[in-house]
Amino acid sequence: MGFCVITGAASGIGLDLARIAAADGHELLLVDRDPALDGVAANLGAGSVLADLATRGGVDALCERLGARVPDILMLNAGRSLGHAFGQQPEDEILDVIETNVTGTTILARRIAPAMAARGSGRILFTGSIVGYMPGPFQAVYNASKAYVNSLSVALSHELSGSGVTVTCLMPGVTDTRVFERAGMLDTPVGQMKKDDPADVARTGYDALMAGREQVTHGVMNKVQATAAEVLPAGMVAELHRRIAEPK
């Protein structure tokens, strides 16, 4: 087994990815800005870096901890959502979504992927989302950020083809994590509907990563939704999304 770095590991899918990787015998370095990370790391016998990857300083702190060491596995799971009308969302929260989901993810991948390729081996997992295929009224910035992640992961997969580095994008659907609470979406239909178990989603992503698959979507209904979103007119998809994401 190898050395595995997991971002956004204090809760949700990231926590379950960490549990699976620990059970599989990997050495773990967990990263999150949530102070709960230290307890998670202690329980799993893992190292930890308490850092905000939405900031360049947070990315620097992780890279300084790594030093010259190159992970065998990098799981880029850190992310956040934001609900309600675009015009009512505070600008600092909009920026935090973009800087966490897009900027931090991109810069960390940029710093580690070339070193993996130079070594000739490595595995990278991005946590994207099926909403990356859906224009998302009342979740507009989040959906757009996940469209970026979905696209970036596939592009890197093909850039790194033949290098010994595989890139996998896990694209969950609605998952039972704190993301809807943190996004202020508990007053929406999607915030109240039945959700996938994050442990099951993490297992799907981990297995795809280890198999070197380029993309994976957890669950039959999520696959149907993702396929429909690619086929139907964008305006129709946006209207369907509005119905589940608009606050009551």
Q: Which two tokens stand for residue 3?
A: 């050395």
pLDDT attached to residue 138: 96
CATH of the domain at 152: 3.40.50.720
What is the predicted pLDDT for the residue at 15? 98
Q: Looking at the predicted structure, is the pLDDT value of residue 150 above 90?
A: yes
In terms of pLDDT, which residue wins out, 240 or 63?
A: 63
Residues 116-130: pLDDT tens digits? 999 999 999 999 999
Q: What is the pLDDT of residue 89?
A: 96
- Catalytic residue list contains 133: no
The alpha carbon of 52 is separated from its chain's Cα centroid by a whole number of angstroms, namely: 15
What pLDDT score was predicted for residue 184? 86
pLDDT for 18 equals: 98
Task: With CA atoms as reference, report the closest residue to 81 among 4, 15, 177.
Answer: 177
- The mean per-residue pLDDT over the stretch 54-68 comes to 97
> What's the structural domain count of the chain?
1
Backbone angles phi, psi at 13, to 5 degrees: -60, -40
What's the CA gap between 14 and 217, in Å, rounded?
16
> What pLDDT, on the 0 to 100 scale, is given for residue 10?
97
**Residue-level pLDDT at 8:** 97
Amino acid (one-letter) located at 197: D
- pLDDT tens sequence across 167-214: 999 999 988 888 888 888 888 988 888 888 999 999 999 999 999 999
Q: pLDDT band at 225, cuts 50/70/90?
A: confident
Q: For the residues 34-56, what does the mean pLDDT come to?
A: 97
Token pair for 152? 């970036």
User: Please, what is the average pLDDT of the chain?
Assistant: 94
Range 2-17 average pLDDT: 97
Spatial CB neighbours of 248, under 8 Å, sequence gap ≥ 6: 187, 188, 189
Report pLDDT for 177: 87
Q: What is the pLDDT of residues 63-101, one digit of tens each?
A: 999 999 999 999 999 999 999 999 999 999 999 999 999
**Nearest-angstrom CA–CA distance, 86 and 70:** 39
Torsion sign, CA atoms 175, 176, 181, 184: positive
Q: How confident is the model at residue 248 (pLDDT cuts 50, 70, 90)?
A: confident
The range of the structural domain enclosing residue 173 comes to: 3-245
pLDDT of residue 4: 98
Q: Say if residues 127 and 106 touch (Cβ distance below 8 Å).
A: no
Which of 133, 142, 148, 206 is labelled catalytic? 142
Supply the pLDDT for residue 21. Answer: 98
**C-alpha–C-alpha distance, residues 185 and 208, integer Å:** 30
Query: Are 117 and 163 a contacting pair, CB within 8 Å?
Result: yes
